[in-house]
Amino acid sequence: MMGRLFFSLLVATVLAAGPVAGQASPAQSTSGEPLFAQQVLGRDGTIYRLIDATYGELFTGAHEAPADSRVLALEIITPEGNVTRKLVPETSSRSAELAPQMVYVQSSNTVFLLWEGIFHHLHPLLYLASFQNGEWIDVLEITGDPFARKGQPQLTVTRDLNRTAEETRTTLHTVWWEETSGGTLKRYAPIVIENGVRRTWHPTWDLSSFVSEIEGAGIRDQSQVVRVGPGPRHNSVVIGFMTTPGDRVVTLEAEVLPSALGDLGDAIRTHLETEGQRATSLEALADSLADFIRDHGEGFHEASLDYLAESSREALLETRLILVGPFTDLTELSDQARIHIINEGVRIATHGLEDDAPFEIIEIERPDQPGRFHLLKVSTLSERPAPLGVGAQAELHLSVDGRNAVLAWQHGSNLVYVESIDEGWGPERRLALGESFDLATARAMLETLAASR
């Protein structure tokens, strides 16, 4: 089965880069004013700061980019007070960098950066960069419509271990909204890194495709509400979004499935395509399949394998397929057997046989092993009608289990919010904003409130 979690993840909070006791002075502009930054603490006491400023302010006397070009830089402050500043790749042009986010993964000592770049002042693109062992590893352009306006790029990281193959996986769960001719889509792109290898191209999904058809779907969706955060399991995240047609708030859980499950499904498909050519009867083939599952289900408990073996045997017999030796086309049958073992395995591996929550399995092919896939289970956790008066740019705060949420929106000098209750929402409450209680403080309180649900 999948190994336990072996990392600690820190998500950067937007802070003024003020002095830190025992460390170097904060980053400052040429005028001496402190620059605003996001910052995280590394596992050995190193501080990482993501700074958004002009190149001239950050790199005095250097000429890698125009002095007035807005860039991102990663500042590294060691426990001894030594300061190093690294220009973030793909940010040295005069194009803008918007909504940067920094995430630090302790186990691999890696900093991940996600931001929106406006290429040539025209093309909104999303970039993902990683920094490890003192250098940039690579920069990935996240697939999307290069002409579509985008916003709210967000990143949450999960990490797991396949003990059978001694492989580690890091999954970067990214979400954002994207304007298209048909309306505003809420996008999801899980990017899987296994033993340092990842795809240069990756698939993306429209989050609305994971829920039932939305009433009024012909209406142009203008909602920009989307959110991702840590899930209830070490290998899962929760995702929330709002859609204008039907006025619904939806929460999902995306869970990275054990590698052993996908490997068993792929092995079953190959076994049936081979053995089906020589089997003398469907009963013999079904028995062979059951024995194969028991012999090759590495990482599964014996009781789970017995269930999967008998369940697959019965499903195969129910097809009533007539075998005609080498002339039998088993492609469809072997694909169905693979799907069956994955679906049944999901119920065992994640929630047990009693769980009947709707889910879909999505597949991401491994770049170095064609025909093998990473599997993710996407489950619908909740669907609620959106409260009246909520704007397209409202904010969504999620509970850890993803079944509850806090929805907030600004109204004048107030931040209005509602908490989820059963299938709906509680009464509206208001937080009065002012000099002593700003929007950032109010948002942080609502985030804590949602997390406590």
| Residue 82 C-alpha from the chain's centroid | 34
Closest by CA position to 207, among listed 22, 432, 381, 12: 381
What is the model's pLDDT at position 122? 65
Tokens of 10: 């820190």
DSSP for residue 210 = G
E-assigned strand segments in 79-119: 83-87, 97-105, 110-119
CB 97 within 8 A of CB 72: yes
Q: Where are the beta strands (DSSP E) in 195-297?
A: 205-206, 226-230, 236-243, 248-256
Q: Which two tokens stand for residue 219?
A: 């209406």
Note whether 398 and 450 are within 8 A (CB). Answer: yes
Distance CA 29, CA 15 (A): 16
pLDDT for the residue 63: 84
pTM of the model: 0.85
**In this predicted structure, what is the pLDDT of residue 212?**
76
Could you count the other beta carbons within 10 Å of the beta carbon of residue 314? 12
Cα dist from 445 to 386, 406, 415, 451, whole Å: 21, 11, 11, 10
Q: Which residues pair with 103 in a beta bridge?
A: 11, 112
CA distance 21 to 173: 34
User: How many CB atoms lie under 10 A from the CB of residue 436?
Assistant: 6
User: How far is 40 from 48, CA to CA, in rounded Å?
Assistant: 5
User: What's the farthest any 2 CA atoms get from each other in the chain?
Assistant: 84
pLDDT value, residue 301: 84
Q: Is 356 left (phi over 0), alpha (psi -120 to 50) or beta?
A: alpha
- What are the strands, taking DSSP E only, across 120-272? 123-132, 135-142, 150-162, 167-180, 183-194, 205-206, 226-230, 236-243, 248-256
Q: Please count the other Cβ atoms lying within 10 Å of the Cβ belonging to residue 27.
A: 21
Tokens of 310: 């008998």
The pLDDT value recorded for residue 25 is: 44
The first and second tokens of residue 414, run together, are 């107030």
pLDDT, residue 215, reads 58
pLDDT at 426: 95
> What is the structure's pLDDT at 348?
76
**Single-letter code of the amino acid located at 90:** E
Q: What is the pLDDT of residue 131?
A: 94
232, 223, 227, 287: which is closest to 255 by C-alpha? 232
pLDDT in 10s for each residue of the chain, 453 residues: 333 333 334 444 333 333 333 333 445 544 444 455 689 999 889 999 999 888 888 998 888 888 888 889 999 999 999 999 999 998 887 567 788 899 998 888 899 999 988 766 667 888 899 999 889 988 888 866 777 888 899 999 998 876 655 667 889 999 999 988 778 889 999 999 877 766 667 889 999 888 877 655 545 677 889 999 999 988 999 999 998 765 889 999 999 998 888 888 888 888 888 887 788 888 888 899 999 999 988 878 888 889 899 998 898 888 876 665 554 667 888 888 888 888 888 877 655 555 566 889 999 888 777 777 889 999 999 999 988 778 777 899 999 999 999 999 999 999 999 999 999 999 999 999 998 999 999 999 999 999 998
* Nearest C-alpha neighbor of 264 from the set 329, 185, 343: 343
Residue 439 CA neighbour count, 13 Å, CB half: 11
